Chain A
Amino acid sequence: MSLQPHTRKLTPEDAAHFLRRTAFGATDAQIRALVGRDAREVAREALSFGMDLAPGNPFDPTQGTRPGAAAQLARGAWLYEMLYGPHPLRERLALTWSNHFVIGTDKVKNAPMLTGYLALLRRHAATTDFAAFALDVARHPAMLRYLDNDQNRKGKPNENFSRELLELFTTGLGTPAQPNYTEQDVHEGARALTGWTYEGGRGNKNFLEEPRFVSRPNLHDTGSKTYLGQSGNLSGEDIVRIAATRPQTAAFVSRKLHRAFVADTPDEGAVAASAETWRRTNGNVRAVLEELLSSEVFYTRRAAIIRSPVEFVVGAVRTLGQPRLDAKQMLNLVQTASKMGQLLLQPDTVKGWDGGREWINDSALLTRMQLAAALTLGAKAPTLEKPPTALALLGTERSPLQAALDGLNPKQRTYLTLISPEFQLA
């Protein structure tokens, strides 16, 4: 299957679908503003975000008194940007990349590392050069620390980053019958990456100090290496570029973009079409996304993604018209998402969250119900200027839940809709 463009002008339900996927959700008015527009134009516009941040963010990680507090403030600051920021697609992409190039606050406890890494993910959110993105990641102190490459030196390689670079960040494993790389590639890659480390910001006492990437020639193995079939005195830059530009990388990362934006179970033909665009444009992710977000496949596969905990939280608040929450409530939302299985900047493992049906279990469903009650019926529930419409909540003009909602007041209706299977899907 190729990625046929979606040629029809956007209907209200198309527009609602687009905003569920790219903006966590939206109000009726925001949806209506896209009706009648051209799909390609809408996608291009959404992708041409700037780097400006939401004004008035109450959280500043450098105000943390301990590493754990700073990390919590970094999470709060990010959630604020998702809830109220001007570029929801940029944040949605940063969330996707944070689940691809994973770091975690269990090891990265330095506040400037966390904010710097998040800024990097935003800067490359719709990158035009995936290899450059991967290289910036590989040299960022947060990643050097998280996967121990800061300890990787000549003669005594530490393989952690080298392995995950291939397995999780670029080519993927492949199949047992046709692996995408060998153990030898992992060893040789680790040798090439020796000497990349960082200065400053080490230890719990220095969690506010700014770290800085350094390459130490005396710790670098300058011998000849063979990596994914290429030989020579390969450097760390060479290794990352070789891995990032492999054809398998195009397919592996394209599949993740389809999982993030099209379906938990992507159509392999459509993934192959994105991979082809990726290869043709030398890893221009922006071009891949623009094509994808204006394709027939994107507009046809409705209700095919189970919203993650963070998407559920942000989606609810944005659909309710972005009511103001106080700082404490927002930190509670960070914790609630964590209880449902998604703590920002701390996936369970370096593989990231698998997502899809993995988000759903008894405890997570219970927490979704509690959160919905708190946002609509609770004593401290935000006041809503007008209750959201079926189009905003469910993406359809006629609510399939009408029979259940008859006779309820607007708050009760909103509560019941937020806990329905339909709202939990995008």
Chain B
Amino acid sequence: MTLDRRDFLKYSALAVAVTSGMPGFLARAAAQAGGTKTLVVIQLTGGNDGLNTLIPYSNGAYYAARPNIAIPKKDVLTLTPDLGMHPSLKPLMGLWDAGHLAWMENVGYPNPNRSHFASMAIWHTADPTQAQAEGWIGRIAEKIGDPFCASNIGGTTPQALRAADFSLPSIDGVDNFQVKLPAGLDGAFQTMLNTSRTGEAAYLQRATRQMLTNTQKVQQNVSKYRPGAKYPEGQFAAQLQDAARLIAAGTGQRVLYVSLGGFDTHAGQRAEQDELLGHLASGLAAFQADLEAQGLADRVVVMGFSEFGRRVAENASAGTDHGKGSVMFAFGKGVKGGIHGDSPDLEDLSDGDIKYRQDFRGVYAAALTRWLNLDARGILGGDFGGPAWLG
């Protein structure tokens, strides 16, 4: 990536901000870019099977390719004369009926890679050549000039949130997200932290300082939240509730990131994927209900993806191996509901996989320009057209 002079200045300023607190002009820039809208990104880790998520139930080729794991027509939640949702997604039907749930068909990228890790890195960096280490959300932070403009909810920060020289925060439980120093050590702690350092020690020093700022910001605001919906059990739903708390508290993140893993269904797919999609839908439905109860639903859009879909034909273990393109979903009051894009042609496959028709960066571009009001070109490194899934 080449940096122009403006980028370079911004980046240098950010590096200063991270090490010594944010200088005034940058804080002003951050406030201007702040906005009140939030994008929540949902990552389905492991390669979610798009064909069993948004089901082409009128297509004989679908049933022919999957004698054991196809979703029987009678179980499909009908959306259109040709497509319907997996029965476990029932909690999302209300959003569909209200016109606020969008499915993007056939999304992928050029020269698809069946490696989980290479493919995930491509979605994270928005760079199919895999030349960049920064994530697309990390680049948002650099553009905005605010290292707290996006956060992951969970234990490990995904590459999407990596910036040139730091990672954006990961919040693993809002309640635990606070520093409690043992009595009498405040001064010594500050002196320890202020010792001059180089190399990886300087990185850790910077990360610790940033953590102190971030935790303060969250704790000052988070008590304002009162839940407006009952969330189901489980870590995914708890993380969505933390996302709702941060939004309600007005901590100011433009992007929040939540992951649900386990979609690598090489064997016994029905049992595994059915359960996972159930967690997904019940958690997301509670999240939406909560936002609505708080009067925040106009300010939040959810966008979900997986690194790839799975092969069209089932394998001998009643599962599916790694495939290529897949579906994305989005919902929220700002979302134009419906099916965006054509369904894959199951009789014209590439090496047993569907051929993608929509570049995922076009879907990202809409979120960046139409929702977050940012310059998508600068973040994605090019112009990408896509479906008009935002109103």
**Residue B362 at the A interface, CB < 8 A?**
no
Q: Are A363 and B322 in contact, with the CB atoms below 8 A?
A: no
Residues 314-342 of A contacting B (Cβ, < 8 Å): 339-341
Q: Which residues of chain A are near B1, meaning CB under 8 Å? A: none
CA distance A369 to B317 in the complex (A): 46
**Residue B170 at the A interface, CB < 8 A?**
yes
Q: Are B315 and A158 in contact, with the CB atoms below 8 A?
A: yes
Mark contacts of A153-195 with chain B using CB atoms, 8 A cut-off: 1 yes-contact digit, 0 otherwise: 1011111100100011000010010000001001000000000
Mark contacts of B52-88 with chain A using CB atoms, 8 A cut-off: 1 yes-contact digit, 0 otherwise: 0000000000000000000000000000000000000
Q: Nearest chain B CB to A313's CB is how many angstroms away? A: 15
**Residue A384 at the B interface, CB < 8 A?**
no
**Residue B262 at the A interface, CB < 8 A?**
yes
**Residue A385 at the B interface, CB < 8 A?**
no
Bin chain B's interface residue count.
Answer: 35 or more
Please report whether the interface of chain B is mostly helix, strand, loop or mixed according to DSSP.
Answer: loop
Q: Are A404 and B321 in contact, with the CB atoms below 8 A?
A: no
Q: Are B115 and A173 in contact, with the CB atoms below 8 A?
A: yes
Q: Nearest chain A CB to B221's CB is how many angstroms away? A: 16
In the complex with contacts A159-B322, A421-B197, A361-B115 CB distance below 8 A: no
CA distance A369 to B319 in the complex (A): 44
Q: Which residues of chain A are near B264, meaning CB under 8 Å? A: 160
**Residue A151 at the B interface, CB < 8 A?**
yes
CA distance A118 to B187 in the complex (A): 45
Q: Are A403 and B195 in contact, with the CB atoms below 8 A?
A: yes
Mark contacts of A337-380 with chain B using CB atoms, 8 A cut-off: 1 yes-contact digit, 0 otherwise: 00111000000111100000110111111100110010001000
**Residue B176 at the A interface, CB < 8 A?**
yes
In the complex with contacts A106-B262, A421-B204, A348-B156 CB distance below 8 A: yes
Q: Which residues of chain A are near B203, meaning CB under 8 Å? A: 357, 360, 421
In the complex with contacts A158-B315, A404-B191, A349-B157 CB distance below 8 A: no
In the complex with contacts A148-B319, A159-B321, A349-B116, A424-B204 CB distance below 8 A: yes
**Residue B155 at the A interface, CB < 8 A?**
yes
Q: Are A400 and B321 in contact, with the CB atoms below 8 A?
A: no
**Residue B24 at the A interface, CB < 8 A?**
no
Residues 197-243 of A contacting B (Cβ, < 8 Å): none
Residues of B with Cβ closer than 8 Å to A? 45-46, 111, 114-118, 129-130, 152, 155-157, 167, 169-173, 176-182, 184-185, 188-189, 191-192, 195, 197, 199-205, 207-208, 210-211, 214-215, 261-262, 264, 266-267, 315-317, 319, 321-322, 351
Residues of A with Cβ closer than 8 Å to B? 106, 147-148, 151, 153, 155-160, 163, 167-168, 173, 176, 183, 186, 264, 303-306, 339-341, 348-351, 357-358, 360-366, 369-370, 373, 377, 400-401, 403-405, 407-408, 412, 415-416, 419-422, 424-425
Q: Jot down 12 A-B pairs with beta carbons below 8 A, ordered by A.
A: A148-B317, A151-B316, A153-B316, A158-B266, A167-B117, A173-B118, A349-B117, A357-B200, A404-B195, A419-B192, A421-B203, A425-B201
The 7 closest A-B pairs by CB, nearest first: A156-B316, A421-B204, A363-B172, A151-B317, A404-B192, A361-B170, A404-B191
